Every structure is written in structure tokens, then in C-alpha cells.
Chain A
Amino acid sequence: MHSIPSVRTYVLVWLTLTIMTFVTFYISTIDLGEWNIVVALLIAFFKMMLVILFFMNVKAESPLTKLFAGAGFFWMVLLLGQVAIDYISRSWMPAGKMW
């Protein structure tokens, strides 16, 4: 059977997630121009990784489960990446400021 993570680990992850929520809220009040969206999404990505690795316990799962979880990422990267490349390369989007 899998090793069972301690309550302490879960509480620490929860604390980090809550702090990151405040951080992302605070940063959004500062005008960083186009970097606001980049920072917000990086923080969201970090929070997602914490939830997947610890709360969903993928860290301790079998390689096959890890592969399936990773396939989700791969799909999203393909979907968003390819569509974005298509739109950008056809100049359908306004030039310059993206966000």
C-alpha cells in the first residue's frame, strides 16, 4: 500500500495555497502591464501542481497514473499552443498588446 502523508504535510500545502491566493490577489492590484496575466497564471500553475502532487497524491502514485495525469497537461499545451500559434501567425489578433 501507499505510504500515507502526514497531517502536517497537508496543512503546510493548504497554508501555501492560501498564502498564494493572497499573493495573487495582491499582485493583481499592482499594474505590471502585460506581466499581470503571466504572473497570475504562473501562480495558478504553481497552486495546481501543489494540489495535484500532494492533495491528489500523484507524487506517490504509480508511473502509469503519473503518465495519465501528465497526458492532461500535454493535451492542454497542444490545444492552447496550436490554436494560439494559428491565430498569431494569421495576424487575426491585434498586433502588439496581447492582453
Chain B
Amino acid sequence: MEQQFESATLGMWVFLLTEIMFFGGMFCAYMIYRSTYPAAFASTSQHMNPLWGAINTAVLIVSSLSMALAVRAARLGQTRALQILLLVTIFFGMCFLGVKAIEYHEHWVDNKVPISVPGLGSHWDYSEAPQYARQAQILFCFYFFMTGFHALHMVIGIGLMLTIFYMASKGTFSRSYFAPVEISGLYWHFVDIVWIFLFPLLYLIGHTKNLI
């Protein structure tokens, strides 16, 4: 059993390595463009709301705590506690997505969406700093791709938690069998870590400097 459990954990880490490569590519491209156009990228921070970002970071950290406690409950064979903690995790995951939706809406109203959707017209306008307009478009592409893929991972994570909740209610888990809880937890924490880096990179750099 011990060896089976270890292979499950190891297999999950191998999957997480592929996820690191997936997000790593985006972080790498972001690094190159950020250092090529530092002023233009910093100017976009004026349009991010660091308070929403900070709130969402705190929300995700709470969800990670409840996830870690859920895994602990599973190890101790406390199915009831596991289920409650899973619901708490799902709740905070939903809160995160809700805040993200508010932010996306703000960008839409603020005309900071660098794509034109047929029929909806252009929602891109950077006339407050026309000298940066083109490069700022690159940053907002990064912003929507990176936070979008992160949000997608959150949605998948919530789906996983619902599955684990269902399995727990069927009485699948015991003190000797809790590997699915453990590896879903690893996934949840990984998604948290991605946000821990997205928050300072997208929201915090240069947001107090008056660059426009």
C-alpha cells in the first residue's frame, strides 16, 4: 500500500512537471516582453486593481489551507470533516472565480480587452498613453491568457473537488486509502502557486508610479 501511494504521488508530480512547462513557457515569454518594453508594461499596471488581486491571493491561500486540512482529515479517516473542508475549498475557489469575473468585466468596460469579437465591436482603447498602445496590447494578451488559463485550472480544480466529495460520500476513503484526495490536493496547491507568481507580476509592478 505504501508503495502504491508513493507511485500515485510521484505520478501526480510528473503531471505537475508538465504543468510547470505549460505555465513556464508563458512566464518566459512574459519575462522577455516585460524586459523589452518595461515602461509600456508598467503603464498597464494602472489599469489593474491590486486590491482585487490581493483579495484573490488571500482567498486562494485560505482555500489552500482548507485543502491541506481536508487531506489531513482524509488521512485520519474523518470523512465528515473531509467533506466539510472540501465544501469550504470549493466555496473559496468559487469566490476567486467571482472576483476574477468582476475584474474581467471592469477590463471590458474600461476598453482594455485586446481582441475584437465580431458583432461586439472593439473593446480596446489606450488613448491615455498612445505611445504605449501597441506594447500594452501585448501585456493585456499575456494578462488574459495567463489569468484565463489559471482560471480554467481553477474550474477543473473545483470539478476535481466535487468528484472527491462525491467519492467521500460513497465511503470510498479510509485511513488506508486516500490517495485521490492527496493528489487532488497537490493539484490545488499547484494552481495556488501559479497565482502566487501571477499576482506580483501582473498587478504590483509599477502600479504606484505615475507613468501615464
Report A's interface with B, CB cutoff 8 A: 1-2, 4-5, 7, 10-11, 13-14, 17-18, 21-22, 24-25, 28-31, 36-37, 40-41, 43-44, 47-48, 51-52, 54-57, 61-62, 64-65, 68-69, 71-72, 75-76, 79-80, 83-84, 87, 92-94, 97-99
* Shortest Cβ distance from residue A36 to the other chain B in the assembled complex, whole angstroms: 6
CB-CB contacts below 8 Å: B179-212 with A: 185-186, 189-190, 192-193, 196-197, 199-201, 204-209
Are B200 and A44 within 8 A (Cβ)? yes
Interface of B is mostly: helix
Are B72 and A92 within 8 A (Cβ)? no
- Known: A75-B24, A80-B24, A99-B205; 5 extra A-B contacts, CB below 8 A, are A1-B75, A4-B72, A18-B58, A57-B71, A75-B17
Q: How many residues of B contact A (CB 8 A)?
A: 53
* Shortest Cβ distance from residue A57 to the other chain B in the assembled complex, whole angstroms: 8
Bound CA span A62–B191, Å: 22
Interface of A is mostly: helix
* Shortest Cβ distance from residue B208 to the other chain A in the assembled complex, whole angstroms: 5
Bound CA span A25–B25, Å: 26
Are A99 and B72 within 8 A (Cβ)? no
Are B192 and A51 within 8 A (Cβ)? yes
CB-CB contacts below 8 Å: B11-33 with A: 13-14, 16-17, 20-21, 24-25, 27-28, 31-32
